Structure 1
Amino acid sequence: MSRYPPIPQDAQTPEQQRVEAGARKILARVPDHVQLTGPSGALLGPYSSLPYTPDLITPWMNLATAIDTQPGLSAKEKELSTLATLSEYNAPYILYAHSAVALEAGLSRTQIDDAKSGRTPAGLTDTEAAVYVLALEMARSRGPIPDRVFGPAVDVLGREKVARIAHVVGGFGYVALLATLAAKVGVEVVKD
């Protein structure tokens, strides 16, 4: 059971009623078989705690959508950045959902497993490998990125793409925190 049970529909404010619709919009690129709600009806992942902070729902949804739809990163690059970030967090539902998205973006199951384990997947282009290495360093360091990583990343990716990757890493760190706050370990986590 979620630590944040669903608020009954008739007790929700208009803002709270937007959470599920907003979650479904954000998850539009997630394969249909990925579950949005658990057995209790509670939204899974970062969405279950959002109704408890109604003043942050719209800004959070706007930020999540902006990060997810930003130009300049391919679907595969976004998922490599996401999986690199999630390799540093214990967020089972988010890993479950983004493993499915990564598969649809063109990564193999082996590449996904490597990325989730903090290993640069084999078979990536030089650009894709640079994206993964940079995102992993950002997620691990939680501080200034060393010049030995930043310089080569800028050489391969350019400053704009490096900044865009930082938004993905920061955004999914936020998502992982909300998801782990809301779920008890091992409860309402859906397996592949």
Structure 2
Amino acid sequence: MTTAQQAAAQAVIDGPRGSLYGPFVPLLRSPELMSCAQRLGEYLRYRSAIGTRLSELAILVTARAWDQPVEWAIHAPIAAEAGIRPDVIDAIAQRRAPSGLAADEQAVYDFCTELQRDKRVSDASYAAALSQFGEHGVTDLTGLNGYYALLAMVMNVAQTPAPASSAPPLP
């Protein structure tokens, strides 16, 4: 590795992730991009204005939209630990709308589904998200979608294999 790659890799290892895995392996080919991306991801994943439970829901919707097995394998178990019900996780995996969501979960699901599918969000979904999370939260929710779409693209291009996981693979 170059000096820049070594520094970028060490920054990921020394951060809350604790190791270099998933998207950070192919991103290492562009150490400055990896460094910028991992700092953005560290904020979105660990300190987002919508909290871990809802961030993980957004990540799952994005992983499913991009058919991304690494993101799914990593985040489905985290989402379950954070309080996303197993039937909700399964419905997203099966490309079905989950039922019985809490209002905040429904706002995230609708916002993310529309953004990933339609490349925009309806006024109704925006208003629901704004009511639940405020402008800061809506901005972070949008950022979560963009960041995890970036990682999905990187791993899909690199054909990154999914790690072992307690979550069933995407169908």
Per the TM alignment, residue 191 of structure 1 is displaced from its structure 2 partner at its CA by: 4.3
Residue equivalent to 2:138: 162
TM-score, normalisation: structure 1: 0.74
| Larger helix proportion of the pair | 2
Which residue number corresponds to residue 83 of structure 1?
A: 60
* Cα deviation, residue 111, structure 1: 1.8
Distance apart, 1:177 and its partner CA: 0.6
Alpha-carbon spacing, 1:72–1:189, altered in 2? closer, same or farther (3 Å): closer
- Inter-partner Cα distance in structure 1 for 2:9 and 2:85: 30
Match of 2:147 among 171, 181, 188: 171
Q: Which amino acid aligns with 1:48?
A: V
TM-score by length of 2: 0.82
Deviations 1:84-134 (A, max 9, x none): 111211211111001121121122322211123343433431112111111
> Structure 1 CA distance, aligned partners of 2:96 and 2:36?
33
The partner residue of 1:133 within 99, 104, 110 is 110
User: How well do the aligned residues superpose, as a CA RMSD in angstroms?
Assistant: 2.3
**Number of matched residues?**
164
Match of 1:146 in 2: 122
Gaps of 5+ in 1: 1-11, 29-35, 37-42
Question: What's the CA shift for 1:44?
Answer: 4.6
User: Matched residues in 1 for 2:123 and 2:139: separation?
Assistant: 15
2:43 partner letter? A
Q: Which runs of 5+ in 2 are unaligned?
A: 166-171
SS of 1:114's equivalent in the other structure is helix
Bigger Rg over Cα: 1
| Cross-structure match for 2:168 | none
Give the % identical residues. Answer: 24
| Pairwise CA distance, 1:81 | 0.8
